[in-house]
Amino acid sequence: MTSQSKYDVWGQATRNNPHPLYRQMRENDPVFRVIDGMGQTVWFFTRYDDSVSILKDKRSIKNPRKSLSVDVLQKRFGIDPNADNNNQSMWDVVNLHMLNQDPPDHTRLRGIVHKAFTPQRVRDLQPRIEQIASDLLDAMAHKSDGDLVEDFAFPLPITVIAEMLGIPVKDRDRFRKWTSAILSGDMSSMEMIMEFVQYMNAMIELRHEEDTGDILSALVRVEDNGQTLDHMELLSMIFLLLVAGHETTVNLIANGMLDLLQHPDQFEMLRKNPDLTNQAIEEMLRYNGPVDGTTNRWASDDMEWRDGHVIKAGDVLIPLLLAADRDPDVFDDPETFDITRNPNPHIAFGHGIHFCLGAPLARMEGNIAISQLIDRFPNLSLNIDPAKIKRGNSLLLHTLSALPISYQ
């Protein structure tokens, strides 16, 4: 929610198709300030160079409690870092992961998690991902049409990440409800957080007793220079892996297929030239990537930005990745969906120290999903007027609510 603004960034019409508004912002107000409904100053960045600069700037921080002065915390957030009510709370369960930390905490956490989430562990998943995709497509072959999100784009990555964590099949639908509720940011989701914590506490206890060979067992045991994850960090990291491990890949597959179906020439080119799949995935990430705006960053100090903008310590900083990835100063003909685009220096996975650790897995899943889908169903077509397609209301995730498709 925002106070009255020149640009309705949060409005549902923008959420359904943010690109026209982002183009206006990039051309007329590339660094734009708004006061949100909570009275917080938020800066949006729509140009590529500005977005990359914010993602790399050490003054652009992820944990305001640890990095802002006591004065700013009290004045801007009403937080007293020394008060008892700022001790670890249930909300810390979903916020103590590395994405919400700055060095040296981020460096320590990423080093530990990287040892569990190794490139070899990801590469070893390829045969299993191919089998999961094939099984889903077998089920789809018995239908003439359906919802690609429900039938394929969601179950593929949630099955992969659940298997990686060792979550039993019968419990996987519960994780979708938990993550959706928690991501909503509504305080009513506290009950969902408690259910998630209770469930994962039992899973962690089992892994302490027995190494079952999954990534959860690895996270319980991994150490880097004698450092390990404490219990709250472990819970928070599991939540991050669940969200980043399926929500973003769902969006990559669904958005990518929508773009292909709206550009039949590109669909046909890819069908005839499957060796273009890697390039096609990169263009899907650029053109309609899975993440819209980044998670919140805060200015640790007053910052003078270009064109006379003065950012105050404690202000929220949000690079809009979808806008940056259509910046004509970086991409030739950026409004054109071109699966042969090369080079393609998009920032769909972020930039700098918080670059997505799961990017190799997302790319692999996207490659397998798109290539198998097109190979199995070469006559795919949309079953809905594109103008009626709805997206979620999140500024973070660029999500399709559904994607009605004819499979035959």
3 belongs to a structural domain: no
6 belongs to a structural domain: no
CATH number at residue 262: 1.10.630.10
7 belongs to a structural domain: no
266 belongs to a structural domain: yes
98 belongs to a structural domain: yes
201 belongs to a structural domain: yes
29 belongs to a structural domain: yes
Tens of pLDDT, residue by residue over 228-256, are 999 888 988 888 888 777 888 999 999 99
Q: How confident is the model at residue 3 (pLDDT cuts 50, 70, 90)?
A: very low
Task: Between 211 and 179, name the one with better pLDDT.
Answer: 211
Lowest pLDDT segment from 13-17, 194-198, 205-209: 194-198
Q: Is the pLDDT of residue 1 over 50?
A: no
What pLDDT was estimated at residue 83?
A: 54
342 in helix, strand or coil?
Answer: coil
Lowest pLDDT segment from 38-47, 107-116, 165-174: 165-174
Concatenating the DSSP letter of every residue in 269-336 gives HHHH-GGGHHHHHHHHHHHT-SBSBPSPEEESS-EEPGGG-EEPTT-EEEEBHHHHTT-TTTSSSTTS
191 belongs to a structural domain: yes
* 106-120 average pLDDT score: 89
Range of the domain at 109: 12-406
CA angle 53, 59, 61 (to 5 degrees): 100
- Give me the number of domains the chain comprises: 1
